[in-house]
Structure 1
């Protein structure tokens, strides 16, 4: 049977399973089995065992559950309230005032969480009620949270960068370094737009009735020091070449446990809860990786990756046109799948095309994360939009309209790193050279 026909059949099967509500990992597994059956290969049990073991036993993946556990521990401490209380006194004179708490809190929490949905949910539970109580515009409060919540995918230690690094065989440490500057660029873009909006809509931002003394500001800053030091230590040890990502993740867990203990929030219940939360999330991701690994092998038997790569090469697309097509593909897939599933499902197929076009796989890793961030708030079915809907009780149309400006800001960021790839590659090159 022709590869294109088999590919079309499997695409229909995949979306059929996803639409039925079957787990993503099991959907990938069933599609792979369907492909093997269409080829007449009945040894799929043995192939599944060997391919999945190789995919989930990679030592680089050891960092994954550790970083997830670190985020789970800090999620159950006073980190959330400390972020709000520590940042508030410093934002009184900035246009937009406490709206920036959403952006900066998401940026800081992303550095210990690594998850987009966890970042949006955690910070949203804390900030949205307070912003509403103080009279801030509800739509803009939701918008800043929608956009900034996606920072959990990019700012190291990002779970999705670990997954991409393993799938594409790219150094996870270099990916972390590469994600730092684009992550800061996004924070500045979000804050810049918020200031512009506040200056254009002064009536929607409550006036500042509280004047904070320097002693109050410095006292508030002390609340940010513990988690700030933890983040600096974890990322600094990786950037400085002192530890591998896995070793840094282990130190991060120890540091998070110490913060929880000294903050008197480390109880039997919180410890067990953090372990169970990390176990569930890690198992979900590993199951997706196993299903995707089997699907990759099945696609190899069918010859789809080779056919697609040859077709793209024959079309002689420019790198920019190829990236434009891939951007559309990732945004559409993001309407149906979470970010990790998108990366795992597509990497093995699109990477040969990317390499054929002469695109740096390190740069492509940051690009794909930026585009997946866009898909998380793509109206009307982005993954983070559902998180915000459950938090606020607002209808999806309202939340989608609120998130739209930040969708375009993310699109603008994609354009910037495409036109100026040095934004991504400069820091890893400097760190390697030194």
Structure 2
């Protein structure tokens, strides 16, 4: 196939995709439709057998079996008193810090991220308890919304992250190594968020309520008693993966069992909550799996058409350095983030972007963390920022107000992108150390 025909095929598929997405058709079906369109119009390939075999191959990947289990673990704990316990347990420990209880939003989202694996679930769970408490105490509304919107994105970075599993399958990277790579960047983001809260509080002391009366150490421990089992569950699940004791799928199985035990012990496990968690986990898992399977068909299609090779050659002709390529990709991903949610951005772009990144000599493990941070930013960009919608529905504020409150945290996420680019060891240090 000539280069002109390849470019024409790519243009036709791009226009068709935009039209299908604008019509409201599911992302997965849109990907499948443009894949079949490209094969029918521009190749002599037997479309039916190729599509069926590709979807089948993509649907039984062993790494994907961890996906519904981790989702179910988060759904079980989402229906317990975890959000209330987190606020009561964390508040006494951060009361002395500049910014006081605003840090509960950051730490609470970090803890919830380690059991939910989802940005919107993390944001909604912590906001459900924190917003009424912080509002009652007179905290600045913009900082309440901003810390929740920004910290909610930790659900994508801190393992076990659902989007890391999807990226691992799509880019053929080890999910366990991706989990390891997310540790230091996750801690970096939390440090940046908490540092900003402290700086803002120092510059605006009148906006921060007075400190609560000091609490004895024993009372702090007593308030945190219900968090200890959850922390132990997180450590056990992630620790077994890092220690090589269990695969992500096996660790997810233990996580589900532990979550069921915790829910039963705290009175949150009922027949109704069990059914709701199973149904929700099934819906989310099926949606993600279908998107991944249809994206696999798109990857095969663009491979047949030679689109990645043509684009890679075009990038080489432009003589873009790896740094400039990352800048261009960042802008493209941020534009996509205005219209698509995170997993859709990942699978939609992977067929074209990953060959270009490999040709530029960029480590795919590092690139996975980079793209996740950029997708975190997409969770905060209107008009389709999911975290913005969550907070808008929970507060009744308009989307513009929530977006303005989130702007400083978008800047902090961009700063994190710069930091991991300048210091790639932030991403690679833990996986390299654990694999020695």
Q: Aligning the two structures, in what range does the TM-score lie when normalised by the shorter sequence?
A: over 0.9
Q: Deviations over 1:16-66 (max 9, x none)?
A: 111111111111112112212321547322221111111111011010000
Choose the corresponding residue for 1:219, options 217, 222, 242: 222
Q: Match of 1:51?
A: 54
In the alignment, structure 1 residue 325 sits paired with structure 2 residue 328: yes
Gap runs ≥5 in structure 2? none
Q: Match of 2:243?
A: 240
| 1:13 match: secondary structure | helix
In the alignment, structure 1 residue 154 sits paired with structure 2 residue 157: yes
Q: Match of 1:264?
A: 267
In the alignment, structure 1 residue 93 sits paired with structure 2 residue 86: no
Number of aligned pairs?
433
Q: Match of 1:357?
A: 360
In the alignment, structure 1 residue 2 sits paired with structure 2 residue 5: yes
In the alignment, structure 1 residue 412 sits paired with structure 2 residue 415: yes
Q: What TM-score do you get using the length of structure 1 for normalisation?
A: 0.97
Q: Which region of structure 1 is more displaced relative to structure 2, 171-180 or 220-229?
A: 220-229
CA distance 1:363–1:308, change in 2 (3 Å) = same
Displacement after TM superposition at 1:264 (Å)? 1.6
Q: What TM-score do you get using the length of structure 2 for normalisation?
A: 0.97
| 1:398 match: secondary structure | helix
Q: CA RMSD in A?
A: 1.2
* Separation in 2, partners of 1:39, 1:417: 41
Kept in 2, the 8 Å contact 1:95–1:199? The answer is yes
Displacement after TM superposition at 1:269 (Å)? 0.6
| 1:222 match: secondary structure | coil
* Separation in 1, partners of 2:321, 2:132: 48
* Separation in 1, partners of 2:127, 2:23: 30
* Separation in 2, partners of 1:215, 1:94: 19
* Separation in 2, partners of 1:384, 1:46: 40
Kept in 1, the 8 Å contact 2:95–2:212? The answer is no
| 1:233 match: secondary structure | helix
| 2:153 match: secondary structure | helix
Kept in 2, the 8 Å contact 1:380–1:397? The answer is no
In the alignment, structure 1 residue 116 sits paired with structure 2 residue 119: yes
Q: Deviations over 1:327-364 (max 9, x none)?
A: 11111111111111111111221111111111111111
* Separation in 1, partners of 2:287, 2:174: 23
* Separation in 1, partners of 2:226, 2:51: 49
In the alignment, structure 1 residue 300 sits paired with structure 2 residue 331: no
Displacement after TM superposition at 1:379 (Å)? 4.0
In the alignment, structure 1 residue 374 sits paired with structure 2 residue 388: no
* Separation in 2, partners of 1:17, 1:276: 28
Trace 1:158-173 onto structure 2 (pairs within 5 A): 158-173=161-176
Q: Deviations over 1:181-208 (max 9, x none)?
A: 0000100000000011111111111112
Q: Deviations over 1:286-339 (max 9, x none)?
A: 111111111111212222112112222232211100111111111111111111
Choose the corresponding residue for 1:80, options 65, 73, 83: 83
Trace 1:386-397 onto structure 2 (pairs within 5 A): 386-397=389-400
Gap runs ≥5 in structure 1? none
Kept in 2, the 8 Å contact 1:73–1:271? The answer is yes
In the alignment, structure 1 residue 313 sits paired with structure 2 residue 316: yes
Trace 1:170-189 onto structure 2 (pairs within 5 A): 170-189=173-192
